[in-house]
Structure formats: C-alpha cells, structure tokens
A = this chain, B = another copy of it.
Amino acid sequence: MIPVDHTGGSMKKKIDMVATGEEMYSLIRRLYPICRSITGNGVRDTLQILREKVTLQMHEVPTGTKVFDWSVPKEWNIQDAYVKNSQGEKVINFKESNLHVLNYSIAVSRKVSLEELRGHLFTLPETPDWIPYRTSYYNENWGFCVNYNTYRDLTDDTYEVYIDATLEDGHLTYGEFLVEGREKGHEVLISTHICHPSLCNDNLSGIAVATFLARHLSRISLKYSYRFLFIPGTIGSITWLSLNEKNVDRIWHGLVATCLGDSGSFTYKKTRQGDAEIDDVVAYVLEQSEKDYRIADFAPYGYDERQYCSPGFDLPVGCLMRTTHGEYPQYHTSADDLSFVSPENLAESLSMYLEVIAVLEGNRTYINMNPKCEPQLGMRGLYQKIGGAEQGKKLQLAMLWVLNMSDGNHSLLDIARRSKQQFDILCEAANHLEEAGLLKQSFPQVQP
C-alpha cells in the first residue's frame, strides 16, 4: 500500500506514465472492433475485457424495469448485416465496420428498389469518405450508414437488405467498481459511457482512462471512496440513479469522463451548482497546469451529467474532457478511429485526473485550536531560528496563513486562492501544525 500524499506530482510519480499510456491505447485497440450499443453482448464483452484490469461488478437489469420516467428497453443483438446488389456484391457490409448499421436497427431481409433503400441510408455529404454514426433506440426502424461516395455511386438496381438482429426482452448491462477510502460515506463518482461502437475518442478514451484510474486508485490509500460507473449513456445513468436513489447523498464530488484521447486542450464543464468544490478544484488544477484550457458553464446537454445534474438530484458532477463533443469534425463518424487518439494524450488525461484527485484528497478544512493570537511556533520547533532558506520561509508563511484562516470556513484550497501560496506547501504546513496539535480537521456533517 502506497501511503497517501496530497500532491499531484508525487501521486503521478507512482505510475510510469509512458507505459500506462501505451496500455490504455492497447486496451482501446482491443475494444475498438466490438459492436456496442445501450444493451446487448457488445457491452458484456467490453466489461469482460475491463475485468482483466479491475474487478468490476457487472449488473443486469431486466427489460421493462421502470426507471423514473423511462423503462429499460429490449435488448439488442446483431450478428450480421449487409446490402447486396443484384450481382450479389455486398455494397455495404457490417463485417467491415459496425458503424454501417443504424444502431438498434430491427431485423430485415428483403429486396428493395434504390429509391426505397435511399430512404434508409444515412450519409455525410460534406465528408464523403466518412461513415456517420446514427442510432434509433426508441423508434423501431432499420437503416444503414454509409460514406457519401458509396451512396452516390449506387445504381438503379434491386438490392437485398439484410440485418440479422434481435430486439427482445433481455437486460441492460453495466459495470460498477468501488475503491473504498477511509471515509466510507463520502464518495467521488467517476462515470463513463460504454454504449458507442467503433468510436475511439467518444467513448473508448473515457473507458480507458477510467479503467486505469480505477486500477491506480485501488492500489493507494485514499480519504474518499471512488465509485466508477461503466454505463450506457442516458438510460444507464437513469437506471443507476433509479436503483441507487437512496445512496446518492454519498456522492460528494463527481466527474463524467469522456473525449480524453484527442490532441485538443482540456475543457471542464462545470456542475449545475456552478460553485461546487469539484468546480474549484478542477479550475485550480487547470490554472496551475500552465496549459491552455477552457471552463464552460453547465448546460443541460452533453453526457450523463445531464441526469446527475437534473434538478431533482443536482449532484456536484462536472465533466472533464479534452475537445468537447460536437466541436471536432470527426465526432460521431468513422474518422474517430485509432489514429485520432494517442497514448500520449491518454496519459496526459490520466495525469490530469490524478492531479484533480490529489487536490480533492488534500483539500481539508481545519479549526485552529489556539485561535486567540498566534501560537508560539518557536517553542514547538516550527519557527526558523536563522533567516536562510527560501523554502523554509515559504513554509513559515504558509503556517501563518493556515493558522489565521482556519476558522472552519476556509479549506486549504480557499487559503491557496486567498494567500496566493502553493496548495502543496499549505498542505505541508497544515500537516506540521496538525502534528503539533495546533489544528484539528473540521469534518462537514452534511453534504455541501
């Protein structure tokens, strides 16, 4: 067990980031060909592979289960799909890319004219080489997605359309993994969706970063417990919230992990509350990173933060990503492939999550046990006798700040903001003062 520390720098040093970046990329390469959807064996196979890294628990929720305003849908599975021309050539073939099938298509097997076929084809005329990714979850339909060049070249012919898919009572499958910390009732939620087929940035990058983050956290000592959810988008978070409604007040902080493999700079989308501790912490880490970044206000579209931040829950869950969905042209197309993400970007994203967690873990609120006038630091060996070293002066100043501000209303991060002293030096100062009995941690009794 590696002892807890409070600085992102040292937390990262426990990991070989180059190697971990490669491991994450390998995982993505392995998961890429699987045809995932919001239910079905693609999800099961994916979770089974993740279980090689972390011992996540798999949940199966039966079709028809009422989850708030929704019902768990029928389970969808697909074996094969194609469109053949009259010469028997497969002009569209699911075996070549699982994006070719409209996700959640019902089964079909018949001959159609070009005109009828075209009514079931989806294309992207502006990027004619790319296959779009389209779904039809709650509206039974069949269809194919195809690059525009192919679409354009289809001749007047009779086509055989064939989709060997089932849509039947079954289950919605999701994975859950809990890393228990010292304070069991206080959880950090890390949520990632697992419902996209052959798309790398959205969402295999989120799956990979969440998996390796979970693996790393399970090896160190932590204050908070960390709950990882690997769930289908929208219906998955709705299902989890419905099944776990009584326990959501354990969630003190949360992040939705997605779009973490591209080369763009980081974007943080704030919680609906807008001033939650996780908002402060991520903003602070981004500021300190000396990289470009963007902080966006909450908006009720995007990923599963939509559900966590619905007004009946209003959980402090933000979304930390690189380039936001919809803001890169490859989004939801076949161009979001293995070349669009890289081991280096994945590693940098994992580092950023670790730095956020380091500040979350280190951020405490103290009560000064000697609040009337300054305590005599010299008597306790906490005061430098000789002026000297720069680091020593910083530590001493940090002690004065922590003592002065520790009235139960200011966290170490608040003090960092106000004093312009570094967070990790304030943590170090607080540790010295706590050891000397001059500070006591103030534990909030209720959810902030």
* Chain A contacts to B: CB under 8 angstroms: 67-70, 138-139, 234, 237-238, 241-242, 245, 272, 297, 299-301, 306-307, 309-314, 368, 370-376, 378-379, 385, 397, 400-401, 403-407, 418-419
Contact = CB atoms under 8 A, between A and B. Distances in A.
27 contacts: A69-B373, A69-B374, A69-B376, A69-B379, A70-B373, A138-B378, A139-B378, A234-B374, A237-B373, A238-B374, A245-B372, A272-B404, A297-B418, A299-B419, A300-B401, A300-B404, A300-B405, A301-B400, A307-B374, A310-B371, A310-B374, A311-B406, A312-B368, A312-B372, A312-B373, A313-B372, A314-B407
Interface SS majority for chain A: loop
Copies of this chain per assembly: 3
Nearest to A377: B69
Contacts of A401: 299-300
B241 A372 contact: yes
A395 to B, nearest CB: 13
Contacts of A234: 374
A30 B333 CA distance: 71
A393 to B, nearest CB: 11
Given A310-B404, A311-B368, A376 B301 contact: no
A419 B303 CA distance: 17
Interface centre among A70, A300, A373 (most CB of B within 10 A): A373
A374 B306 contact: yes
Contacts of A376: 69-70, 138
Contacts of A67: 373
Contacts of A306: 374, 400, 404
B373 A307 contact: yes
Given A69-B374, A69-B376, A310-B373, 11 more contacts: A138-B376, A138-B378, A234-B374, A299-B401, A300-B374, A300-B403, A307-B374, A311-B403, A311-B404, A311-B407, A312-B371
